[in-house]
A and B are shown apart, each in its own frame.
Chain A
Amino acid sequence: MKNVLLIIKKEFNRFFKDRRMILMLFLPGLLIFCLYSLIGTVMEKAAPTIPEGYKPTVYFCRLPDGFLSENDLKLLEGKDFETLEEAKSNVAEGTLDIVVEFQANFTAAVEGSSRPEVKVYYNSSVQTSIVGYTLATGILSGHNAFTVNSTPTEKFDLVDEDEQVTNIFAMVIPLLMFSLLASSCISVAPEAIAGEKERGTMATMLITPVKRIEIVLGKILSLSCYAMLSGIISFLGVILSLPKLSGGLLNLGAVSYGVGTYFMLFGLIISIVLVMISAFSVLSTLAKNVKEATAFIGPLMLVIILLGMSSMFFTNPSVGLYAIPFIGSGIAMSAVLSTTASALGVVLAILSNLVLTALLVVLMGFMFKKENIMLKK
């Protein structure tokens, strides 16, 4: 283990002594951020803005007399509909901003000791609806006598499923993440393994009493850290530029992920990087120089990205699919981001990645013992 650490430390030393490597660490993330922000700014100019003094339209259902003050009512524009259902479908279509529904016998319930509920329906794909929702919940908040949108099973966001922001996220992010991670892996693996073979520095390490598997582990772990860091910086570039990019089109205010989501996402990213680095490293070990390694990895990288992308086409994946390398990770990431992931599926995807990594590491350990692979000229 001590030797693994020594090799990891050496690799880090190499990364951070090399200005090009440091640049490569930040460059993709920075580029994505600048590019997306720019596109966002251009789109924002084109997108319709909410006019000054706009009053969100609202349908009140069973509004108790005198419940809202004159001042509060002035902020909204009341509309009439025949039924609650009709009003709700107007929200879904975007022709009405919000619906505020009071429970039957609301006043009596408030005077009794039970806490009745006020339901505010909105549509997260419509900017003015979000404004209305924010306004209404603002007015209604801070009361102990009743609750707002407290039924956990009810969907208050009436957005059409297909338009949902989370779904766009869920579709685009896995593809983006797979591409970013794969490109940061390909920027380090050939150099660190085929490069060392080509330059003759690998052989120098091979005549020391270090175990072959220790060299392999040291390489895989340090390369994975670098690729992870680069991948996460790219990911941050995406996340930070999204609000700008979304402009008037996406309302990210409506998307908020819990700690669990980020945790699962992080686990997935780590395990995906480990598999990618190990797979690329195996090919880099087979290659006799950096050029050849890059040529070997290119097609594999394409396949991996395509597999990750294929997750888009599984609308209702069975648990077994999660265990397939890359496809499973894509599905899992997609599911995590649309908050429909089962913990079992995510764990399965991560585990299958780790098992594959272990197999590849063992394979590489064997390859490192083969003179016609390691000393190929």
Chain B
Amino acid sequence: MEEILKVEGLTKTFKQPKKLFKKAEGPETVVAVNNLSFAAYKGEIFGLLGPNGAGKTTTLRILATLIKPDSGNAHICGKSVVSEEDEVRKKIGFLTSELKLEDAFTPDYLFDFFSGLYGIDKSIAQSRKFSLFQKFGIDAFKNQKYGNLSTGMKQKVALVVSIAHDPEFIIFDEPTNGLDVLTARVVTDFLQELRADGKTIILSTHIFSLVEKLCDRVGILIDGKLAALDTLENLTKEKNLEDTFFELYEKVTGAKI
């Protein structure tokens, strides 16, 4: 199996903003990601499953080169996210509600602009735009301002633009969060299609059913650490995913649910 993603000892600590801990009296720093190591292989969907605040988004932001780890490293297609960011950026598509598109532009223009920034050949970009717009039903809206589109259409446009450069590796933070059911279905179907095309995907979620539906392998993230790392099949051999998760959660945190 070809290793597309290799994560080794990834650690990231945040200083908490001053205002917060004044009233909360909490710790000054939060270890969001704690010595994380795992790998993802070509053509699979890897799921990072964890509760809120587990460090999923932080991990994915490091992989997307948006932030730097304090220590450790990750390689995507053999390129380091720490020292070869530009190479990594060419190979990845990052999807998250954190990244926005400008309201004033049309989907058509946004696609052209971003494929331009990725240095995609014009004619290749045009044919890719044509087929993606058709597939997601964006065609009829391609000359309307992004800001005037419906939420569902906006999300589809954001998805299409983020994969304008046909990335090898796709990073998806909470794929179905905030999507209406129809759009969510379109997105999950598309992720499976991408996998069939040999793309590698890492996604984060707190929704068990999504993992069960999509993922080949799963890392269960609790308090910045991997509590389990296995195939979906092995994790759900004895009990269902939800029960497995809560058992682990109680063991790691000592909390009784």
Q: Can you list, as one digit per residue, whether each of A197-230 has a CB less than 8 Å from chain B (1) or not (0)?
A: 0011101111111110000000000000000000
Are A14 and B66 closer than 8 Å at their CB atoms?
Answer: no
B contact residues around A199 at 8 Å (CB): 100, 102
Instruction: State whether the Cβ of A79 lies closer than 8 Å to any Cβ in chain B.
Output: no
Given contacts A3-B117, A371-B67, contact A209 B100 (CB under 8 A): no
B99 interface residue, CB < 8 Å from A? Answer: yes
List, in ascending order, chain B residues with CB within 8 A of A18's CB. 104
Over the window 359-373 of chain A, the binary record of Cβ atoms lying under 8 Å from chain B Cβ atoms (1 yes, 0 no) is: 000000000000100
B86 in the interface, Cβ–Cβ < 8 Å? yes
Binds A, one of B108-116, B177-185, B222-230, B240-248: B108-116
B68 interface contact, C-beta 8 A: yes
* CB–CB A205/B89 < 8 A: no
A17 touches B116 (CB 8 A): no
Query: B105 interface residue, CB < 8 Å from A?
Result: yes
B87 contacts which chain A residues (CB < 8 A)? 209
Interface string of A170-202 (1 = CB under 8 A from B): 000000000000000000000000001001110
Partner of B104, one of A17, A203, A208, A210: A17
Interface code B64-104, partner A: CB below 8 Å = 1, 0 otherwise? Answer: 11111000000000000000001101101010001111101
Across the two chains, which residue of chain A brings its CB closest to B99? A204
- Quick one: closest B residue to A14, CB to CB? B104
Report B-chain residues with C-beta under 8 Å of the C-beta of A13: 104-105, 109
Q: Is the CB of B117 within 8 A of A208?
A: yes
Q: Give the most central of B64, B98, B99: most A CB within 10 Å.
A: B99
Report the contact-size class of chain A (Cβ under 8 Å from the partner): 20 to 34
Instruction: State how many angstroms separate the Cβ of B172 from the closest Cβ of chain A.
Output: 13
Within B33-78, which residues are at the interface with A (CB < 8 Å)? 64-68
Q: Please give the distance in Å from B65's CB to the nearest CB on chain A.
A: 7
Question: Chain A interface mostly helix, strand, loop or mixed?
Answer: helix
Contact (Cβ within 8 A) B117 A6:
yes
Q: Which residue of chain B is the closest to A3 with respect to CB atoms?
A: B117
Choose one: A201, A208, A375; the contact of B89 (CB below 8 Å). A208
Are A203's CB and B98's CB within 8 A? Answer: yes
A10 at the interface (CB under 8 A from B): yes
Closest residue of chain B to A17 (Cβ to Cβ) is B104
Q: Are B109 and A208 in contact (CB under 8 A)?
A: no
* B residues less than 8 Å from A200 (CB atoms): 98-100
B198, CB-defined interface residue at 8 Å: no
From the candidates A2, A17, A203, name the one contacting B99 in the complex (CB within 8 A): A203
Q: Which B residues touch A207, using CB under 8 A?
A: 64-66, 89, 92, 94, 99
Q: B interface vs A, CB < 8 Å?
A: 64-68, 86-87, 89-90, 92, 94, 98-102, 104-105, 109, 113-114, 116-119
Extra contacts besides A201-B99, A207-B64 (13): CB < 8 Å = A2-B119, A6-B113, A10-B105, A13-B105, A14-B104, A196-B102, A204-B100, A204-B101, A208-B89, A208-B118, A209-B90, A211-B86, A371-B66
21 A-B pairs with C-beta separation under 8 A: A2-B116, A3-B116, A6-B113, A6-B116, A14-B102, A199-B102, A200-B100, A201-B101, A203-B66, A204-B100, A207-B64, A207-B66, A207-B89, A207-B94, A208-B89, A209-B89, A209-B90, A209-B117, A210-B117, A211-B86, A371-B66
